[in-house]
Amino acid sequence: MSDLQPAPTVQGSVSRRRFLKVTGGAVAGSSLLTMLDARQAPAQLRGTTLRILTWSHFIPAYDVWFDKFSAEWGEKNGVKVRVDHIPHLEIPARMAAEFAAGAGHDIILNNSTILARLYYKTLLDLTDVYDGLGKKYGGWIPAAKSPIEVEGRIYGIPMYYILLPMLWRKDLFEANGLKPPDTWELARVAARTLKPKGSPTGMAFSHCNDANLNWRSLMFSFGATETDASGDHPTIDSKEMREALRFAKALFDEGMTPEVFSWDDASDNRFLASGIASWIHDAISAYRTTESTNPPVFKNTFVGMEPAGPGGKRVSVSAPIVFLAWKFGKNPQATKEYLAHLVDNDKEGMIQSTGYNMPFLNDSAKKPMPIIGADPKLQVLQDFPKIVAFFGYPGPYTPQIQEVALQFVLPDIFTRVARGTSVDDAVKWGVGEYRRIFAKHKRA
Amino acid sequence: MTVLGDGAGSTTRAATQPAARGRSTRAWWHTNTGRRLTFGYLLLAPAALYVLLLVGIPFLFSLYLALSDASVGDQVSRFVGLGNFRAAWEMDTFRDALRNSIVFLVVAAIFKSVLGTSLAFLLLQNFKGKKLVRALVVIPFTLPITVSVLSWKWMYDSQFSVINWFLHKAGLIGGYGSESWPIWLGQPHLALLACIGVNVWRSFPFSAIVLLAGFTSVPTEVLDAARVDGCSFFQRFRHIVTPMIFPILIIGFLFDTVFTLSDLSVVYVLTQGGPGSATMILPMLAYQIGIQAGSLGRGSAIALMLVPLLFPALFLMLRNLKRRD
C-alpha cells in the first residue's frame, strides 16, 4: 500500500526522524554542557536523595563546613542530602554490611583503608568524573591513581591526603647545637643527644595507623620497597630494608623510651604537647593542637621536610582519603555531580581544614597553597606532593597490601627488631606473613 | 458402645457407626492431647524461632563461609573444604591468638570467681548504704563498653597514667621515664594483664549478682541447722551452699565463658592486638581478617575455632548439671 511507504524526501531537506535526532542530541548535549559548567543538576535530580557516609574529621570545623556545603549543594539542586559521620575505623565494617544488604549510602568515604580494589565490581565507575577533573585542573599528582584504579578504570575520587612531616623543637635543637632534622641520620643524632637531657623522640612501634605510615616512610627513604611495580610480589627482603631496620633499632635504643610500644595515633600528639618530645613524625594536627594546649611548644615547634635516607631519597607515606560510590546507589547522577562539585571546591576544603587536607590535583597543589602557603612554618608542606606515596610503594595499593597494613605486619617487623629479635629473623618472619597473605589473595 | 450380634444389634451398630466414623475422622488437633500439644508448641515457638533465626542460621551461614573463599567484595564464592582452617592454623598470629584466648579466659575466670564471690558475700551483709553499694557495683556492667574501655585507656596511658601516678606517689615506682615506670599497654605481659583487668572489672559484678541470687535462694533454716550442728563458715559454704546453688553457678559460668571468649571490644579499643601479637585474641583476629581485610571465609574459620574450645566445656557442664538434677 502506497501510503505505508516512506514519503520521498527532497535532496537536502530534513526528515522528521532526522530532525528529532539532531535537535534532541543537540539539546541533550547542550544541557549536559550547561549543567557541567554551571554545576546545576538537571531536572531529573530534583526531589531525589543523596546519602553520604563520611568520617569524623580530626579538624571538627571541617565537618561543620562539609555538612553545610553538602546541604547547600542539595538545596541548590533540589536534592535532599543526608551526611552521616562515623569514626573512620568503622567504615570497613559498614561497607561490608551495605554490600551484603545491597543498599545503603550512595557515597562512602575511605580513609587510609581504601577498599576500591576489594569492592570494585559493585562500585560505580567514576572514570569520566576523574578524567574530567584531571583535565580541568592540570592532572592529578602521580600517587593519586594507586588506590582507586582497577583494570584501567577508576572507582573512586581522591579528595585529599594527610601528610606526616617532621615536627621538631627548634629551641631544643638550637640550644644543643643540632642541625634541623633534614635527614634521618640528623634526626637520630638529635634524638641521641636530647634523650639524656629529658627530651626523647618517639615513633609508634604498635598497632596503629601512624606506625604503618611512619615506618614505611623511613624504609622507602632508605631505598627499600614493599612490592614490585605490579603489586603482585612483596619485595621487603632486601639490603635496604635490613639497613632501615638496623637504623630503627639504633633510633629506638638511643633516642626513645619503651612507651612507644603502647602508642596509639594520638599518643605522639600528647607527647609533643607535653613539651617532652624533641621531635615526632606526625600529621600537623599534633602541631595545631599545641597552639591552644601549650603555646610555648607551639611557638618553638617547626615543621620539616620528610627526612632523606642515606642515598638522599625522600618518600612521604601519607594517608589517602577518597570517596567511593556504590553501583547499587539510587542516585548515580547526583553522586557524580556532587563529587565533581566537591573537588571544584577543594581549596575551600583545605582552608576549612586549616591546611590539613592536601590536594590531589596539580593546580590545587601549586604554590602558594591556601593556609600553608601563607604560614612560614608550614610552607615546606607545599614541597611534599612530588614525594607522596601510599602503602605498597612502588606498586599499587592492593587488597593484599591492605591486609598487610590491617594486620600491622610491617610495624611488627620493626617492633621485633626494636625488642631484640635479629634483623634476619624479623625479616624472615615478615616475609612469611607477606607471602601468606599474598598467596591467599592470589588464590582468590 | 457397639453390640456384637445380629438383629437389634445390627441396628445399634448401624446407628453407632456414623458416630464412630465421626470420632475417627476428627482432626487430631481437636483431641485433648492434640490441643495440649498444639498449645505447648505454640508457647515454645517464639523461643524456637528465635534460636533458629538468630543462632542457628547465622551459625550455619558462618560454617558455609568458613568452607568457602568468600570475600566481602565478591558475591560468588567457591568451596575450599578445610583450606581456611588449615591456613589459619599455619599463621603464627593465629596460634598466639588461640593461646592468648585461653589464658584470657582462665585468668579472667579465676579473678571473677574470687572477686564475684567476695562481693556477693559482702552484699549479703547488712550495713548502712547497702542499697547504694548494690547500685554502684553494677555500674561497670551497665556502662557502654566503649566509654568504659576508653577511660581505662587513659588510665593506662604511657605518660599520663593515673595508676602510675598513684604508684609513684606511694613510692612503689620511679617517675615517668624511669626503668620501673610501667608501660601498661606496651609491655607484652602487662598488656595482656591490662586487658584481662578491664574484662574482670566489667564482668565481676555480673558474677556477684548471679551468686547473690543463688545465696539468697538458700533457705536460712538449713544454714541455721548447720550452724547449730557446729559447721564452720567454709564447711557451710562447701557442703551446703555450693551444692544447692550449683545449677545457678553453672549457668553463670556458661554465660561468663561465652562473654569472655567472644569479647572483642576491650582488646580492640586498648591495643588492637598489640604490641606484636601479645594481646591478639581470636575474635579480634577474626574481625581484622574477616571484616576489615574482607576475607570472610578465613575470618569465619578463625571465629569458628572458638567452637571446639567452647563445645567440650559446655557439654561437660550441661551433662554435670543434668546428672545433678
Supply the DSSP string of A198-240, one letter for each residue. Answer: T---B---SSSHHHHHHHHHHHHHTT--SB-TTSSSB---SHH
pLDDT at B256: 87
The DSSP secondary structure of A46-94, one letter per residue, reads TT-EEEEEEE--SSHHHHHHHHHHHHHHHHHHT-EEEEEEE-GGGHHHH
CB A101 within 8 A of CB A89: no
A416 in contact with B, Cβ within 8 Å: yes
Rg (CA), chain A: 25
Distance between CA atoms of B16 and B10, rounded to whole angstroms? 10
The one-letter amino acid at B156: Y
Classify strands A279-281 and A166-169 as parallel, antiparallel or unpaired. antiparallel
C-alpha cell at A382: 607545599
Q: Which residues on chain B are in Cβ contact (under 8 Å) with A100?
A: 72
B149, B154, B159, best to mutate vs chain A, most A CBs in 10 Å: B159
Measured between CB atoms, which of B73, B92, B273 is closest to A119? B73
Q: What percent of chain A has pLDDT over 90?
A: 80
Q: How far is A210 from chain B (nearest CA, A)?
A: 13
Q: Which residues on chain B are in Cβ contact (under 8 Å) with A429?
A: 92
| Selected residue with higher pLDDT from B189 and A440 | B189
Q: Which residue of B has its CA nearest to A414?
A: B276
State how far Cα B264 lies from the chain centre: 13
Angle between helices A423-443 and A409-418 (to 10 degrees): 170
Domain A46-162+320-359 sits in CATH at 3.40.190.10
Residues of B with CB under 8 A from a CB of A: 69, 71-75, 87, 90-93, 153, 156-160, 177, 183-187, 191, 271-277, 288-289, 291-295, 298
CA distances (Å), origin A26, targets A31, A433, A436, B139: 8, 58, 56, 69
Distance between CA atoms of A337 and A96, rounded to whole angstroms? 25
Q: In 3-state terms, what secondary structure has residue B39?
A: helix
The domain over range B83-324 is classified in CATH as 3.10.180.10: no
pLDDT digits (tens, 9 = 90+) for B172-223: 999 998 889 999 999 999 999 999 999 999 999 989 988 998 888 889 899 8
The distance between the two most distant Cα atoms of chain A, rounded to a whole number of Å, is 105
pLDDT digits (tens, 9 = 90+) for A188-210: 999 999 999 999 999 999 999 99
Classify strands A80-86 and A49-55 as parallel, antiparallel or unpaired. parallel
Q: In 3-state terms, what secondary structure has residue A369?
A: coil
Burial readout A127-156 (b: 16 or more C-beta within 10 A, e: otherwise): eebbeebbeebeebbebbbbbbbbeeebbb
Average pLDDT over residues A259-275: 95
The DSSP secondary structure of A143-199, one letter per residue, reads GGGTTTEETTEE--EEEEEE---EEEEHHHHHHTTPPP--BHHHHHHHHHHHGGGT-
Q: Which residues on chain A are in Cβ contact (under 8 Å) with B277?
A: 412
- Torsions phi, psi of A281, nearest 5? -120, 95
Q: In which residue ranges of chain A is CATH 3.40.190.10 found?
A: 46-162+320-359, 166-317+398-443
Q: Which residues on chain B are in Cβ contact (under 8 Å) with A278?
A: none
**B187 to A260: CB separation less than 8 angstroms, yes or no:** no
Measured between CB atoms, which of A92, A261, A270 is closest to B159? A270
Q: A169 pLDDT exceeds 50?
A: yes
Classify strands A319-325 and A279-281 as parallel, antiparallel or unpaired. unpaired
CB A180 within 8 A of CB A168: yes
Angle between helices B92-124 and B83-90 (to 10 degrees): 80
pLDDT digits (tens, 9 = 90+) for A25-73: 554 444 444 444 444 555 567 778 999 999 999 888 999 999 999 999 9
Average pLDDT over residues A348-374: 93
CA nearest to A433, candidates A408, A398, A396, A397: A408
**B177 to A257: CB separation less than 8 angstroms, yes or no:** yes
| Selected residue with higher pLDDT from A276 and B315 | A276
pLDDT at A27: 46
- Architecture of the domain spanning A166-317+398-443: 3-Layer(aba) Sandwich (3.40)
C-alpha cell at B306: 572458638
B69, B72, B153, best to mutate vs chain A, most A CBs in 10 Å: B72
Average pLDDT over residues A349-369: 93
pLDDT at B17: 53
Distance between CA atoms of B301 and B82, rounded to whole angstroms? 9
C-alpha cell at A315: 618518600
Q: Which residues on chain B are in Cβ contact (under 8 Å) with A433?
A: 92-93
**A436 to B91: CB separation less than 8 angstroms, yes or no:** yes
Sign of the C-alpha dihedral, residues A369, A371, A374, A380? negative
Measured between CB atoms, which of B72, B91, B157 is closest to A118? B72
Q: A2 pLDDT exceeds 50?
A: no
**A259 to B186: CB separation less than 8 angstroms, yes or no:** yes
pLDDT tens for the 325 residues of chain B, in order: 333 444 444 444 444 555 555 555 677 778 888 889 889 999 999 999 999 999 899 999 999 999 999 888 777 888 999 999 999 998 989 999 999 999 999 999 999 999 999 999 888 888 888 888 888 888 888 888 989 999 999 999 999 999 999 999 999 999 998 889 999 999 999 999 999 999 999 999 989 988 998 888 889 899 899 999 999 988 988 899 888 888 888 888 888 888 898 889 999 999 999 898 999 999 999 999 998 888 899 999 999 988 887 888 788 888 887 777 6
Q: Which residues on chain A are in Cβ contact (under 8 Å) with B85?
A: none
What residue ranges do the domains of chain B occupy? 83-324
pLDDT at A19: 47
ipTM of this predicted structure: 0.78
Distance between CA atoms of B120 and B264, rounded to whole angstroms? 27
pLDDT at B24: 57
**B87 to A415: CB separation less than 8 angstroms, yes or no:** no
pTM for this predicted structure: 0.83
H-only helix segments in B52-91: 57-66, 83-90
Measured between CB atoms, which of B73, B92, B277 is closest to A118? B73
Classify strands A301-304 and A107-111 as parallel, antiparallel or unpaired. unpaired
The DSSP secondary structure of B107-167, one letter per residue, reads HHHHHHHHHHHHHHHHHHS--TTHHHHHHHHTHHHHS-HHHHHHHHHHHT-TTT-HHHHHH
Q: How many CB atoms lie within 10 A of CB A217?
A: 25
Distance between CA atoms of A378 and A367, rounded to whole angstroms? 12
**Cis geometry, peptide bond prior to residue A368 (ω within 30 degrees of 0):** yes
Q: In 3-state terms, what secondary structure has residue A168?
A: strand
CB A35 within 8 A of CB A44: no
